[in-house]
Structure 1
Amino acid sequence: MSPRGVAIPDVKAQLFDAAERLLLQKGPSALTGRAITKEAGCATGLLYNHFGDIDTFLAALFLDRAGRAGAAMTHLTKRAGTGAVVDNLMDAIETLSAGNLLALAGLAMARPSIVTHLGEALADGTLELDASERAFTAYLRAEQEHGRIRTDADVESISLALVGAAHQLLLTRGPHAADLHDRMRRTTSTLIEAFTPQK
């Protein structure tokens, strides 16, 4: 219910969206219960009625967004052998950025208290912190089979480098930096060109 007693449709989604906006605009330190509910336009107690405490809420936000990003990343391997390898990888990286999963990973590092709330999801496999890295690896292996990535390429290391570069650029420049896309594309192109078979 809102402060005026009017039911709010899909309260959890509204709170998640509000927290995500605050995270992107002001960083992890801005994520207080009062700030989130104010951004969502609802009563402060609403968050605690649904989640108990702020860390439980933030863990639930992380799981929700990770699930969305994971589902989007499953389509990457299907693109092997089509389009340009760099374009396919950049589309996947932009999917992660658009889903703000990289920013949420930064939140987990800034607030380790939420990691304990993620323990059950980690234990039962619901949450896979390396899901994007593994998706890149599977895609690059498929491209090796198509002859578009050298067979001697260490695709696991390339995948780790891609994820690490995306995290670094996002955390140091912010999600709205003008050169974020160009820097990530240059990095991706450099990595892939080094392991593209010579014609």
Structure 2
Amino acid sequence: MSPRGVTIPEVRQQLFDAAEQILLRGGPSGLTSRAITLEAGVAAGLLHNHFGDLDSFLAALFIDRARAANGRLRELAAHAGSGTVVDNVMATIEPLLAGNLLALGGLALARPSIVSKLGTHGEGALELDANECVIADYLEAEQRLGRIPDGADTASIALALVGAAHQLLLTRGPDAPDLRERIRRVADALLTR
């Protein structure tokens, strides 16, 4: 436990890591301010001092973890014209299949009050359709290069890819042996003709 008045470097990440561990171990029901601060080994009031309330903290956690997973998405456009379209899309979808993202999805379902806070963190605001938009932009770039047919609806393909990844993750779980292969089959069906 940290002494009162002592600054703790990286306290945000310490609290986020603790909350993620609780979430992965026991699901959303175990996420209380007290449980998080105990897991992090910090003073009980620290979470509220930094975030105001538990929902604001959980929204910030959601944004932090989603942003980390979306990091590779931002690199996708640079791959237009190289490799195969399916391989590029699969490399981008891979971070979306992590177990912690499934747990975060469960958190959003269990505590819908945090969803309304996702857009209230200024620069930290999360665009809930960011994955879909980045993939659609990439597919449009590939379309301009002639690697995707002119008539293809890239926005709908992106939505279908992200939706399929989420559906398969939710129904099969992140450790299903055929998860990646099934998503690849969906990508092949949508992107190759």
Report if TM-score (shorter chain) is over 0.5: yes
Q: State the TM-score, normalized to the length of structure 1.
A: 0.81
1:136 maps to 135
Partner AA of 2:85 in structure 1: V
Identify the range of structure 1 (103-112 vs 145-154) with the bigger mean alpha-carbon deviation: 103-112
2:22 maps to 22
Task: Please state how far the C-alpha of 1:70 moved relative to its aligned partner.
Answer: 4.2
Paired residues of 1:103 and 1:170 also in contact (CA < 8 A): no
Partner AA of 1:128 in structure 2: E
Paired residues of 1:68 and 1:99 also in contact (CA < 8 A): no
Question: Residues 124-166 of structure 1, C-alpha deviation per residue, up to 9 Å, x if partnerless?
Answer: 8932111110001011111112222111111111111111111
For residues 145 and 99 of structure 1, the distance between their equivalents in structure 2, rounded to whole angstroms, comes to: 35
Question: Residues 101-126 of structure 1, C-alpha deviation per residue, up to 9 Å, x if partnerless?
Answer: 4543442233111123224348x893
Partner AA of 1:164 in structure 2: G
Task: Please state how far the C-alpha of 1:3 moved relative to its aligned partner.
Answer: 4.5
Paired residues of 1:170 and 1:180 also in contact (CA < 8 A): yes
Question: Residues 51-92 of structure 1, C-alpha deviation per residue, up to 9 Å, x if partnerless?
Answer: 222101001112223333444322101101111211111111
For residues 34 and 182 of structure 1, the distance between their equivalents in structure 2, rounded to whole angstroms, comes to: 41
**Residues 61, 178 of structure 1: alpha-carbon distance in 2 compared, 3 angstrom cutoff:** same
Task: Please state how far the C-alpha of 1:35 moved relative to its aligned partner.
Answer: 2.8
Identify unmatched segments of 5+ residues in structure 1: none
Once the two structures are aligned, what percentage of the paired residues are identical? 61
Partner AA of 2:171 in structure 1: T
1:157 maps to 156
Match of 1:129, SS state, is: coil
Identify the range of structure 1 (72-81 vs 33-42) with the bigger mean alpha-carbon deviation: 33-42
Identify the range of structure 1 (182-191 vs 4-13) with the bigger mean alpha-carbon deviation: 4-13
CA RMSD of aligned residues (A): 2.7
Paired residues of 2:59 and 2:118 also in contact (CA < 8 A): yes
Q: State the TM-score, normalized to the length of structure 2.
A: 0.83
Identify unmatched segments of 5+ residues in structure 2: none
1:47 maps to 47
Match of 1:128, SS state, is: coil
2:91 maps to 91
Partner AA of 1:47 in structure 2: L
Match of 2:127, SS state, is: coil
Task: Please state how far the C-alpha of 1:181 moved relative to its aligned partner.
Answer: 2.0
**Residues 103, 150 of structure 1: alpha-carbon distance in 2 compared, 3 angstrom cutoff:** farther
Task: Please state how far the C-alpha of 1:98 moved relative to its aligned partner.
Answer: 4.5
**Residues 28, 125 of structure 1: alpha-carbon distance in 2 compared, 3 angstrom cutoff:** closer
For residues 184 and 25 of structure 1, the distance between their equivalents in structure 2, rounded to whole angstroms, comes to: 27
For residues 172 and 47 of structure 1, the distance between their equivalents in structure 2, rounded to whole angstroms, comes to: 33
Structure 1 residue ranges, 4+ long, deviating more than 6 angstroms after superposition: none
2:114 maps to 114
